[in-house]
Amino acid sequence: MKLEIRGLSFRYNSIPALEKVTFEIAGGELLGIIGPNGSGKTTLLRCLNRTLSPLAGAVLVDGHDVAHWSRQELARQMGLVPQNTAITFPFTVLEVVMMGRHPHQGILGVASERDIAIVKESLRQTNTLHLAARPITGLSGGERQRVIIARALAQEPRILLLDEPTSHLDINHQLEVLELVRRLTNERGLVTVMTSHDLNLAARYCDRLLMLEKGQVYALGTPEEVLTPANIRRVYRVEAEICRHPATGTLQVLPLAPIDDAQEGR
């Protein structure tokens, strides 16, 4: 399975947000989208699942242009975990995850035995089965995020999109959620695309990184290829040291000082 992005461009009114973004990703791979605020990370995810309609370019799944798919077919193929999920009604966890089955159900939306089995498996996979009867409004941030991932898994997607899945979580829950995402990507052979502000977590869990600068692809490759002092200086305007973490062996980005653009004449 392969997801291809070809020359994707988008504008908010006349303001460019994405410019000719091109990349591809295969099943079983976790791609991290990084870049400073306003670089186009969330916009890119929204264009991938057609929440936003690109100005130009194409999103292809195994060679098929998703622009020709219905919203229902798209929801069967792509699961989205948004940065903020506003659920204020006290639905039970089971009810929330069952919402992920809607693309597979008929007009009446009656849950079949298969729907129930898939929902329970999604809960089990995310270690939330014991929360099934609890109202989602009463969960911790980490529990809630795992439930939202379970809802996306209940769609039986081949592609999983996550927008800042660890934002607002403490360190323990950040690691818990990313370990889960990494495991599900491997076990299910998912195409997983995740935006992240945390360069160190992205380096630890992602196979490759795509660095955006002002809506354009500035760098694409392994964490070692993308997270260089020169790239971070150019895109983030920060002097940084790159080293290996002694415990994990993964890259570690150590910010040293912001760059004074005025002194550089920018």
What is the structure's pLDDT at 263? Answer: 57
Task: Count other Cβ atoms within 10 Å, centred on residue 54.
Answer: 22
Which residue in 203, 197, 125 sits closest to 160, CA to CA? 125
Question: What is the spatial distance between Cα 103 and Cα 92, in angstroms, rounded to a whole number?
Answer: 20
CATH number at residue 79: 3.40.50.300
pTM of this structure: 0.93
Instruction: For residues 153-173, give the mean pLDDT.
Output: 93
* Residue 78 pLDDT level (bands cut at 50, 70, 90): very high
Treating both helix axes as pointing N-terminal to C-terminal, what angle do 141-154 and 171-188 enclose, rounded to 10 degrees?
20
End-to-end CA distance of the chain: 43
- What DSSP letter does each residue of 227-253 carry, written as one string? --HHHHHHHH-EEEEEEE-TTT-SEEE
List CB contacts of 9: < 8 A, sequence separation 6 or more.
Answer: 16, 18, 19, 20, 21, 54, 55, 56, 57
What is the structure's pLDDT at 262? Answer: 61
* Residue 255 pLDDT level (bands cut at 50, 70, 90): very high
The amino acid at 202: A
Number of domains in the chain: 1
What pairs with residue 33 in β-bridges?
195, 210
Look-up: residue for tokens 């098929």?
Answer: 64
Look-up: residue for tokens 């800042």?
Answer: 164
Question: What is the spatial distance between Cα 180 and Cα 86, in angstroms, rounded to a whole number?
Answer: 22
What is the structure's pLDDT at 69? Answer: 94
Instruction: For residues 113-121, give the mean pLDDT.
Output: 95
Show the CA angle centred on residue 207, arms to residues 228 and 62, nearest 5°. Answer: 125
Q: Provide the domain limits for residue 105.
A: 2-264
Instruction: For residues 88-114, give the mean pLDDT.
Output: 88
Q: Are strands 159-163 and 29-34 parallel, antiparallel or unpaired?
A: unpaired
Instruction: For residues 78-91, give the mean pLDDT.
Output: 87
* Residue 85 pLDDT level (bands cut at 50, 70, 90): confident
How much of the chain, in percent, has pLDDT values that exceed 90?
85
* Residue 265 pLDDT level (bands cut at 50, 70, 90): low
